[in-house]
Chain A
Amino acid sequence: MGDGKPDVLQGTLDLMVLKTLEAMGPLHGYGIARRIEQVSGETLTLNQGTIYPALLRLEQRGWIKSEWGLSEANRRAKFYSLSRTGRRQIEAETENWERVAATMARFLAPSS
């Protein structure tokens, strides 16, 4: 996948996409990728292409839906938005992620 760039864990990427859509509303793939890069402060340079299998995965699960629309520059693009299950899923995924993060934090904390 990534050659040299940090691999983004699948679940992490999914959550990022969901959060992005929650915050921004309907957005096309490029927009989502840019937003993720910006929010992560450009520390996470993801292969933008990897966003598309992730989007498909989320759509297959029914968490997001897509429809064709026009971009700012009047270009035809596919816009993704959160579905109702997706909204509910964010909570579950967030909780899940916080638990993992907390666990990791305990491991990484300097032993006192």
Chain B
Amino acid sequence: MDMRTVLSRIASLFHGRKLDRELDEELDAHLALATEEKMRAGLPREAARRAALREFGGVTQVTEQYRMQRGLPFLEVLQRDLRYALRQLMKSPGFTLTTVLTLAIGIGANTAIFSMMDAIVLRPLAIPDLRHVVVASEEQGRGYKQVALANYQSWQQQSRSFEELAVRTYAYMNMTGGGEALRVEAAKTSASFFTVLRSKVLMGRVYTERECQPGQNSVIVLSYGFWQKHLGGDPGVIGRTISLDDRVYSIIGVLPRTAQYPSTADIFVPLAPTAQQWQNRADREYLVVGRLKPGVQLEAAQSELQSIATRLGKEYPVTNAGWSARVEPLLSQVNGEMTPIYVRLMLAATGFLLLVVCANVANLQFVRGIARRSEIAVRVALGAGHGRLLRHLLTESLLLGVLGAAGGLVVASLTLRLCLLAMPERVARYVAGWSNISLNGRALLFSLGLAVAAGIVSGLLPALRSLRINLVDELKAGSRTTSGNRQTHRLRNLFAATQIALSVLLVVGAALMCKGMWSMLHFADRYNPAHVLTFNVDLPVARYGNNAKQAAWYQASLEKLRALPGVAHAEITSAIPEGQDEWIDDFRIENRPLMPGKFQSATRVTVSAGYFDALGIKRLAGRTFAEGDTQQAQPVAMVSRKFVDLYFPGQDPLGRRIRMGGASAGDAPWVRIVGVVEDVTYAWVERSMQPAIYLNAAQMPLNGASYLVVANGDPIALAPAVRGALSELDSAIPLDAMQTYRQYVAEALTGLLYVASLLSADALIGLLLAAIGIFGVMANVVAERTTEIGVRMALGASPREMVRMILRRAALLAGTGIAIGLLMAAALARLGANLLFGVRPDDPVVFGSITVAVAVITLLVSYGPARRAAAIDPMRALRAE
């Protein structure tokens, strides 16, 4: 068929009736003309008409043939089937409504999770040809690091694999001038950064190479979110100036909403290294991204950079010996390790939910199939072929699926809205692509696919079953019993047991996740987190450029805070226990040479002197930091018990000296160990306790720190006083993320909280559906066995025995389902053990309580039908036969 014919056929679908009328008229005209001609030749009217009809051939056949030629036969059949299916469904509105709602929940939940996965895992970055964009880093032995500027420049000059390379780093800057001071995250990038990513601007322009020179770089480009939030989306913003770290920058451009890399960046400023910085091969703290030339494979680029790195190692042995290079796709860098796994876990769980839904719908279809047997029998008797009947039944199922998908879109959009609302903004910025989550065309396609799959999965077996009927029996007058045959029973039992098994699996998964969540939320309880106020401060380099100035600020600010009424302690730290700011650093021990290729590392935490008292961390040996530990005095450190166990087993660590930084950190001071404290976990992800080294903030000040203010009462009530006190000291320093320690812990767990609540929702819905399924099966059993029960009771069985008989049946069904579910759950929990925190994958409490709970639920819902069995009046039951 040529295109033109297809188009005309499709067009004809839309006004079939009018075309039918025209054809009738045309054929009438033909016959009339023919009749008239024959009459002119002398035939009487009737004979003439008959002759005309004979010459014409069959009018009906021609019409049929004409129609086939006119439209798309396949579509017309489909249209007819759909209309028929719709009529059938309207006849049983209760069934239809239940099925569509159930499917809507299943498909909706899946579509929502898919949209989330699509936005944050599959395509978090709206970057053209993303697969050609890579991240290059320097690698030494086990760990890889970022890149030193001079090495980046060598790569840039010597490599042939890349269209372009770009470099970036980031900095926190304090924005002043508009009300309260604000801490913003700046991405400092080379001009090529925008070409590598092929970024477009929403308005204005991005900066040029010339603007990436020292002194020329006072221009900034805004991210969409920052522009919306802090500049009100002002369209006239280009050319305005803002003040960052006491320097004036003029705004030259705004990026579009889809620009999400790096997702945390509020603003972009030109990276303008000095000539001296360009020579540095040791400070590996720049991130390099590049775009591969078309046709160049990642491995080729990697081996090229590796050979350059080897050359550099020979040329500059002091800084580059032993360093290699590593190239990986930007996407895998952005996603991180855990997010894709968790999103897949959620998708798998909702997939199981959809299976439960399908099993439920299939069960409803079985029941309906039994009720429809006479209808089917009549149609078979009238000559309807099996193929055609199957087509009709499947069309009904598919239609149900599609209607369910339509409802599912509503469910999905509500779910997504809820997810978006519940996400704290401070966390959302770390999830690339979060703000791109929406129900888009791909999600629509996905839900349509699910609809078809669900329709077939839930409809095929019941349809096949309902076609296997005994015509004679069905059509015999009075045969109105609803007894299904044995095989149908077996299938229905299978579906009900499957539902229970799958919901047990879901509930166990959710319960493990929730229990883990719960214990993680309480890991920090020993520090009394509800009474602690935390916030972060970053000191602007321009005014707090040296250690003395920073130390003075901390000293003054802590004194001011301690003087506030209601404050028990005020301390600073570089990392909060059970948080996510752990910094693991290499160190060396005095008089103990390192084996080549060996590393020793520990969590490095810098704290003020009263930190241990404030959080109640016990001292085990030696002393804690004291007043006399000033910048002029010998630098001192505390270490954790684990540190002693690992590095000074059986020895006295007190008085020994260590030096922070690996082999490359030449001139770091030697620090004397003066005390040992108990172990503290800093990163919740790794429950294995890391060895820790505590440095004194008074001796080695930080340019940014977290404050811990321990209150006697409600810490949030202290917040205004804290703000007031610190702004008296320096009003241009923003206090970021002010909240209680408890809130801080909860926020760190946001991602897991999402996973846990979603799994719980899946599990609850699954359990509800399984309960409905069991109820349906049992009610059906009772209805079908009415006569049998009547006979038994007439023969002297007591109602209680009847209840027991029905419940035994339910228990068998539930028991099978629960057993299979527990086995699957145990296997899957072991497989996914690395996704569970704070709980054992075989937690006996979880498994035990769920077994009991599901068993109780199934017996409870079966009790209704069992009671009905007991209430059967033997006389009436037997008379009905």
Residues A52 and B66 in contact, CB atoms below 8 Å apart: yes
User: Which residue from B8, B29, B59 sits with its C-beta under 8 Å from A30?
Assistant: B29
Determine the distance from Cα of A77 to Cα of B61 in the docked complex, in whole angstroms: 21
C-beta contact mask, A68-106 vs B, less than 8 Å → 1, else 0?
Answer: 000101011110000000000000000000000000000
- Chain B residues near A56: list those with CB within 8 A: 66, 69-70
Q: Does B441 contact A (CB under 8 A)?
A: no
Binds A, one of B18-26, B88-96, B523-531, B847-855: B18-26
CB pairs A–B below 8 angstroms (16 shown): A29-B30, A30-B29, A34-B37, A47-B55, A47-B57, A48-B55, A48-B57, A49-B61, A50-B62, A52-B27, A60-B4, A61-B2, A61-B4, A71-B29, A71-B33, A76-B29
Residue interface mask A17-28, B partner, CB < 8 A = 1: 000000000001
Are the CB atoms of B57 and A49 closer together than 8 Å? yes
A61 to B56, CA, bound (A): 24
B residues less than 8 Å from A78 (CB atoms): 22, 26, 29
Hey, which chain A residues are within 8 Å of B58, CB to CB? Answer: 49
Whole-angstrom distance between the Cβ of B35 and the nearest chain A Cβ: 10
A41 contacts the other chain (CB 8 A): no
Within 8 A of B (CB), among A24-76: 28-31, 33-34, 45, 47-50, 52-53, 56-57, 59-62, 71, 73, 75-76
Within 8 A of A (CB), among B66-85: 66, 68-70
CB proximity of A73 to chain B, nearest CB, Å: 6
- A77 and B66 contact, Cβ closer than 8 Å, known pairs A48-B56, A60-B4: no
A73 is contacted by which of B5, B33, B57 (Cβ under 8 Å)? B33
Q: Would you call B157 an interface residue if the criterion is a C-beta within 8 Å of the partner chain's C-beta atoms?
A: no
Bitwise, B565-586 to A at CB < 8 A (1) or not (0) is 0000000000000000000000
A49 to B26, CA, bound (A): 11
Instruction: Say how far A70's CB is from chain B's closest CB, in angstroms.
Output: 10
Q: Which of B763-792 contact A (CB under 8 A)?
A: none
Q: How far is the CA of A73 from the CA of B33 in the complex (A)?
A: 8
The answer, yes or no, to whether B9 is at the interface (CB within 8 Å) is: yes
User: When chains A and B are docked, how far (Å) is the Cα of A54 from the Cα of B23?
Assistant: 13
CB distance from B727 to the nearest CB of A (A): 80
For chain B, the count of residues having a C-beta within 8 Å of the partner chain is 29
The reply to whether B30 and A48 form a contact with Cβ atoms under 8 Å apart is yes
- Least CB separation from A85: chain B residue: B4
How many chain A residues have a CB neighbour from B under 8 Å? 27
Q: Hey, which chain A residues are within 8 Å of B2, CB to CB?
A: 61
B811 within 8 A of A: no
Instruction: Please tell me if the beta carbons of A48 and B34 are within 8 angstroms of each other in the complex.
Output: yes
Task: For A50, list chain B residues within 8 Å (CB).
Answer: 57, 62, 65
Q: Which 3 A-B pairs have the closest CB atoms?
A: A47-B57, A49-B62, A49-B57
Distance in Å: Cβ of A49 to nearest Cβ of chain B:
4
- Tell me if B32 counts as interface (CB < 8 A to partner A): yes
CB contacts between A and B, total, < 8 Å: 76
How far does the alpha carbon of A28 sit from the alpha carbon of B30 in the complex, in Å? 8
Q: How far is the CA of A31 from the CA of B56 in the complex (A)?
A: 13
Most-contacted residue by chain B among A59, A60, A75 (CB, 10 A): A60
Interchain nearest-CB distance for B20 vs A (Å): 13
Q: Using A31-B33, A47-B62 as known contacts, list a sample of 14 further A-B pairs with CB atoms less than 8 Å apart, ordered by residue number in A.
A: A28-B29, A30-B30, A30-B34, A49-B27, A52-B27, A52-B62, A60-B69, A61-B2, A62-B4, A71-B29, A75-B29, A77-B33, A78-B22, A78-B26
Query: Which residue of chain A has the shortest Cβ distance to B23 in the bound complex?
Result: A52
What is the CB-to-nearest-CB distance from A85 to chain B, in angstroms, rounded to a whole number? 10
Nearest chain B residue, comparing its CB with the CB of A66: B26
Q: In the complex, what distance in Å separates the CA atom of A61 from the CA atom of B7?
A: 10
A47 and B37 CA atoms in complex are apart in Å by: 17
Q: Which of B25, B36, B37, B55 contacts A76 (CB 8 A)?
A: B25
User: In this complex, what residue of A is CB-closest to B62?
Assistant: A49
Q: Are B65 and A53 neighbours in the complex by a CB distance under 8 Å?
A: yes
Evaluate contact between B5 and A60: CB separation under 8 angstroms. Answer: yes
Interface centre among A28, A53, A78 (most CB of B within 10 A): A53
How many angstroms between the C-alpha atoms of A71 and B37 in the bound complex?
A: 13
A53 shortest CB reach to chain B, Å = 5
What are the residues of chain B within 8 A of A61 when measuring CB–CB?
2, 4-5
How many angstroms from the CA of A50 to the CA of B57 in the assembled complex?
A: 8
Q: B22: which A residues are within 8 A, CB to CB?
A: 78
- Cβ of B5: which chain A residues have Cβ within 8 Å of it? 57, 60-61
Complex formed: what's the CA distance from A55 to B8 in Å?
14
One of B8, B25, B59, B66 near A53 (C-beta < 8 A) = B66
Nearest chain B CB to A104's CB is how many angstroms away? 27
Contacts of B66 in A (CB 8 A): 52-53, 56
Nearest-CB residue, chain B, relative to A77? B29
Q: Which residues of A contact B56 (CB under 8 A)?
A: 47-49
Question: A14–B650 Cα gap in the complex (Å)?
Answer: 104
Report chain B residues within 8 Å CB of A76.
25, 29
Please, how many angstroms separate the alpha-carbon atoms of A24 and B704 in the complex? 96
Give every chain A residue within 8 A of B59 (Cβ-Cβ). 49
Query: In the assembled complex, how far is the CB of residue B697 from the closest CB belonging to chain A, in whole angstroms?
Result: 85
Which B residue's beta carbon lies closest to that of A48? B56
Contact between chains at A28 and B33 (CB < 8 Å):
yes
Shortest Cβ distance from residue A87 to the other chain B in the assembled complex, whole angstroms: 16
Report yes or no: B26 in contact with A52, Cβ–Cβ below 8 A: yes
CB distance from B676 to the nearest CB of A (A): 92
Minimum Cβ distance to chain A for residue B34 (Å): 6
Give the docked Cα–Cα distance between A56 and B68 (Å): 11
B612 to chain A: closest CB distance in Å? Answer: 88
Instruction: List chain A residues, Cβ under 8 A from B8.
Output: 59-60
| Chain A residue, CB-CB nearest to B34 | A30
Q: What is the CA–CA distance of A73 and B32 in the complex, to the nearest angstrom?
A: 10
Q: Given that A47-B56, A57-B69, A62-B4 are known contacts, is A73 also in contact with B36, CB under 8 Å in the complex?
A: yes
Q: Which residues of A contact B68 (CB under 8 A)?
A: 53
Residues of B within 8 A of A28 (CB): 29-30, 33
Chain A residues with Cβ below 8 Å from B33 are 28, 30-31, 71, 73, 75, 77
Q: How far is the CA of A89 from the CA of B747 in the complex (A)?
A: 75
Nearest chain A CB to B16's CB is how many angstroms away? 13
- CA A73 to CA B22, docked complex, whole Å: 19
Interface centre among A30, A47, A53, A61 (most CB of B within 10 A): A30
What are the residues of chain A within 8 A of B69 when measuring CB–CB? 53, 56-57, 60
A47→B61 CA distance, assembly (Å)? 11
- Mask: chain B, 634-654; 1 = CB below 8 Å from A; 0 = not: 000000000000000000000
Among residues of A, the one whose C-beta sits closest to the C-beta of B7 is A60
Neighbouring B residues of A73 by C-beta, 8 Å: 33, 36
In the bound complex, residues from chain A placing their C-beta under 8 Å from that of B55 are 45, 47-48
Scoring B residues 120 to 139 as 1 if CB is less than 8 Å from chain A, else 0, what string do you get? 00000000000000000000
Contacts of B34 in A (CB 8 A): 30, 48
Residue in A31, A47, A52, A77 whose Cβ sees the most chain B Cβ within 10 Å: A52
The interface residues of chain B lying within 8 Å CB-to-CB of A1 are 61
In the complex, which residues of chain A have a beta carbon less than 8 angstroms from the beta carbon of B62?
A: 47, 49-50, 52-53
Q: Whole-angstrom distance from the CB of B43 to the nearest CB of chain A?
A: 16
In the assembled complex, how far is the CB of residue A92 from the closest CB belonging to chain B, in whole angstroms?
14
Give the distance in Å from the alpha carbon of A60 to the alpha carbon of B19 in the complex. 14
B661-704 CB contact bits vs A (8 Å, 1 = yes)?
Answer: 00000000000000000000000000000000000000000000
Q: Which of B4, B32, B57 has the most CB of A within 10 A?
A: B57
Minimum C-beta distance from A81 to chain B (A) = 15
A45 CA to B54 CA in the complex, in Å? Answer: 11
Cα distance A107–B805 in the bound complex, in angstroms: 85
User: What residues of chain A lie closer than 8 Å to B23, measured between beta carbons?
Assistant: 52
Chain A residues with Cβ under 8 A from B27's Cβ? 49, 52
C-alpha spacing A57/B6, complex, angstroms: 11
Expressed in whole angstroms, the Cα–Cα distance for A29 and B27 within the complex equals 9
Which of A33, A49, A52, A59 lies at the interface centre, i.e. has the most chain B CB atoms within 10 A of its CB?
Answer: A49
Alpha-carbon gap, A61 to B1, bound state (A) = 9
* Residue ID in chain A nearest B64 by CB atoms: A53
Q: Which residues of B contact A49 (CB under 8 A)?
A: 27, 56-59, 61-62
- Looking at the assembled complex, report how far the CB atom of A34 sits from the nearest CB atom of chain B, in whole angstroms: 8
Residue among A48, A53, A75 making CB contact with B32, cutoff 8 Å: A75
